[in-house]
Amino acid sequence: MNKLNIRTFTKDELESFFINIKEKKFRASQVFNWVWKNNVDDFDKMNNIPVSLRSKLDNLFYFSKTIISSKQISTDQTIKLGFKLSDGFICEGVLIPSKKRITACISSQVGCSLSCAFCATGKLKRLRNISAEEIYDQVYHIKKISEKKLKKPLTNIVYMGMGEPLLNYKNVIRSIQFITSKEGLAISPKRITVSTSGIVKMIHKLADDSVKFNLALSLHAANNEKRSQIMPINSSNNLESLKSSLQYFNKKTNRIITLEYIIFKDFNDSIDDAKELIVFAKDLKCKINIIEYNNVEGLDYNKTSVEKTNQFKLYLEKKGFIVNVRKSRGEDIDAACGQLANKA
Give me the active site residues, please.
Answer: 92, 337
Amino acid (1-letter code) at residue 265 = K
Q: What angle do CA 100, 102, 105 make, to 5 degrees?
A: 135
DSSP state, residue 333: G
Q: Calculate helix-pair angle for 200-208, 239-253, nearest 10 degrees.
A: 10
158, 201, 215: which is closest to 337 by C-alpha?
A: 158
Burial class (CB within 10 angstroms; exposed 0-12, middle 13-18, buried 19+) of 343: middle
Distance CA 340, CA 96 (A): 14
Amino acid (1-letter code) at residue 11 = K
Distance CA 139, CA 104 (A): 7
Distance CA 31, CA 43 (A): 9
Question: Helix (H, G, I), strand (E, B), or coil: what is residue 73?
Answer: strand
> Taking the mean position of all CA atoms in its chain, how far away is CA 234?
21
213, 212, 214, 237: which is closest to 224 by C-alpha?
A: 237
Distance CA 339, CA 80 (A): 11
